[in-house]
Amino acid sequence: MSLNISKLRNIGIAAHIDAGKTTVSERILFFTGVNRKVGETHDGQATMDFMKQEQERGITIASAAITAHWNGYQINLIDTPGHVDFTVEVERSLRVIDGMVAVFCAVGGVEPQSETVWNQADKYRVPRIAFVNKMDRTGADFQEVVNQMHKYLGANAVPLHLPIGAESDFEGMVDLVQMNSVRFIEKERIVGPIPENMMELAQEARRNLIEKVADLDDEIAELYLEDKEIPTDKLMAAIRQATIKLMMVPVLCGAAYKNKGIQLLLDAIVDYLPSPNDLGAVIAHDPANEEKTYRRNPSENEPFSALAFKLINDPYVGQQTFIRIFSGKLTNGMSVYNTNKLKSERVGRIFRIKAKEREEIALVGMKYTKTGDTLCDEGQPILLESINIPPAVIEMKVNLDDKKNRSKLSEALAKLCNEDPSFHAHFDEETEETIIAGMGELHLEIIVDRLKEEFKVPVTVGAPSVSFRETITAPFECNYRYVKQTGGKGQFAHTVIRFEPNPGGGFEFVDITKGGVIPKEYIPSVQKGLAAAMNKGPFAGYPVVDVKCVLVDGSSHPVDSSDMAFQLCAQMCFKQAFMKASPVLLEPVMKVEINTPDDYIGNVTGDVNKRRGRIEAMRRFRKGSQKLDAFVPLMEMFGYATALRNLTSGRANYSMEFHQYMPTPKDKQEEIVKMRNEKE
């Protein structure tokens, strides 16, 4: 049976940690009949939080996918993490969803991570609706959250609900589109007339809603100016169009834990968020010519195109590859082309995954496909926009008490790296230590937990450390001749390479040799040698970034020159030049957002300054508290959660994300290089 694409909703649920988005997801699964009973995060029974680490901590780590049905519509739901260490999970989910439900806490409002997720959704142009949750909590303020959405997110937030009561008196809401009241008894919604004492307020809010929509829709504007009654279906259609075009964000309210407002949220997902048809064709590039683009419409009759957005290792069926299909059809045993790897893949089996059980589309048997790879029709190769993966900024040493487990450890780490593109692991031959790197302390803590629990690898870990980088700040040209005679065939290579700073440009290789002074088959060898040399810089042994290498001249020998000779020559040339090109150490600098009560503002700013931080802005967050935006080096942020708790009697909170690599001050640089040399 063919799926009616207009009745499909691919949506994500995203928010700040503790806004209650997993509880919202669980209620959606309950009310759509996927679950017979409700799972809770606090008792470790949430369907969407199926990893042991999630259940222990009561937070979402991996984005889970599930399919539900509501009023004849199919909703593919992705629940995403709220903790900043798992931003890559949000990033890859936003790349493949069509619409988003942004959940806000009625007490906490717009928290730092809400802004991060909102900006990510802006980047991928994802239409969204907002759900103000926890209306039953002490301090809940629906209008204040709407105001914060305007102020901090720049959103045209338009309430479709008015809460009836708040805090412990929260009963339900006035639906401003249908102009009725909705209350909840147990799990039933009771629709009735608007309470008399709220009628005036409701009419004013309805007028405000219509004015906002009239600004965006000519037909509604005309009816409004002529003072005519606006039919509900026309108003809903106009809200839908404005939402899909990112011109407005409908705002709803409820209390998911008390089962209040979830059915209305489901109605809004169906009524206002787009189907793949609404968003139209996805734009793809020609792999051979980036200027040339193709359009792939969401239709079964178009050539197949899909993006791999997640990999999971299942102990029973092996690696599962989650894909978002943008066009065409996929069948068991079908052959697809991986444009990124330039290889064909055969689809072994297609599963439907239900979080840890099997209820959403995942492919088994894919050998080469990784996160962000395009899969398409073999006869018509295209390249879809990939997924942005932020760099790993924190490292940790992992050791084994028993060396017999080394192969088990490397196998487990390979699987984890496959699953999570923001996690990296490598074995340092010199120190004989395994180094793991990720997005933050919690990220690596979870990885170590999984190594012990899931993969049964007993590991001990060192303290987390910062992942520095090295680069040069001045140009230098090096003329290096590599000659080795060993009695038989010798080794000969000669290169003249100019090394230049390349801020933000990564490693760049340019060949400007003329007249075949270096045979063309050895040019890639020079590039390969330079790339290998950059894995471990001569300054302090950290990876080298942002260097442009210009191959100017060189020479070869008809007998003694070889691929290996030119690779080694390029490496020696690089090492010799690097120390003469004014090298510097780069450190990761984090964007830190701190919410603190006014009473502690002096303590917090003083502490940020002590940590070599730069305060960028201070703004009134809500009554009695302020929000600080600062940039602070990561090496100064270890243990900050405890320090902030002590400074503010536990009343402040913060969030941080990677901003950029910046030069380390000279005194710190010398200290780090000295410590590094002492260790070796």
- Give the tens place of pLDDT for each residue, 38-83: 544 444 444 443 344 434 433 333 334 678 899 999 998 876 654 5
Residue 418 confidence (pLDDT) above 50? yes
**Mean pLDDT, rounded, for 130-144:** 94
- Of 588-592, 593-597, 675-679, the one with minimum mean pLDDT is 675-679
What's the CA angle centered on 575, arms 574 and 577, to 5 degrees?
Answer: 65
The DSSP secondary-structure symbol of 167 reads G
**Single pTM value for the model:** 0.71
Q: Give mean pLDDT, residues 295-302.
A: 89
DSSP assignment letter at 598: G
Give tens-digit pLDDT for 247-292. 999 999 999 999 999 999 999 999 999 999 998 888 999 998 878 8
Q: What's the mean per-residue pLDDT of the chain?
A: 85
CB atoms < 10 A from the CB of 662, how many? Answer: 13
The Cα–Cα gap between 109 and 145 comes to: 5
Q: Distance between CA 170 and CA 254 in Å, rounded?
A: 9
Residue 163 — pLDDT band, cuts 50, 70, 90? very high
What letter would DSSP give residue 109?
B
Burial of 460 per CB tally in 10 Å (0-12, 13-18, 19+): exposed
What's the gap between Cα 387 and its chain centre? Answer: 8
Q: Which of 99-103, 272-276, 320-324 has the lowest mean pLDDT?
A: 320-324
Buried b (16+ CB within 10 A) or exposed e, 65-76: bbbbebeebbbb
Q: Name the token pair of 169.
A: 């008196």
User: What pLDDT, on a 0 to 100 scale, did the predictor assign at position 672?
Assistant: 85
Tokens 């984090």 identify what position?
590
Q: Quick one: pLDDT at residue 86?
A: 63
Q: Return the amino acid letter for 353.
A: I
Whole-number pLDDT of residue 53: 41
Residue 500 clears pLDDT 90, i.e. is over it: yes
Query: How does pLDDT run across 179-205, given as a tens digit for each residue?
Result: 999 999 878 899 999 999 999 999 999
- Tell me how far apart the alpha carbons of residues 30 and 22 are, in angstroms, rounded to a whole number: 12
Please state the φ and ψ torsions of residue 315, each to the nearest 5 degrees. Answer: -60, -20
When pLDDT is averaged across residues 564-589 and rounded to a whole number, the result is 95
Selected residue with higher pLDDT from 436 and 622: 436
| pLDDT score at 128 | 95
Report the DSSP pairing between strands 188-192 and 249-253. unpaired
Task: Sort 247 into a burial class: Cβ within 10 Å, 0-12 / 13-18 / 19+.
Answer: middle
Q: How far is CA 153 from the centre of its chain?
A: 18
Q: How far is CA 9 from the centre of its chain?
A: 21
Is residue 485 predicted with pLDDT exceeding 90? Answer: no
Nearest C-alpha neighbor of 102 from the set 240, 249, 213:
249
| Least confident segment among 49-58, 139-148, 329-338, 508-517 | 49-58
Is residue 515 predicted with pLDDT exceeding 50?
yes
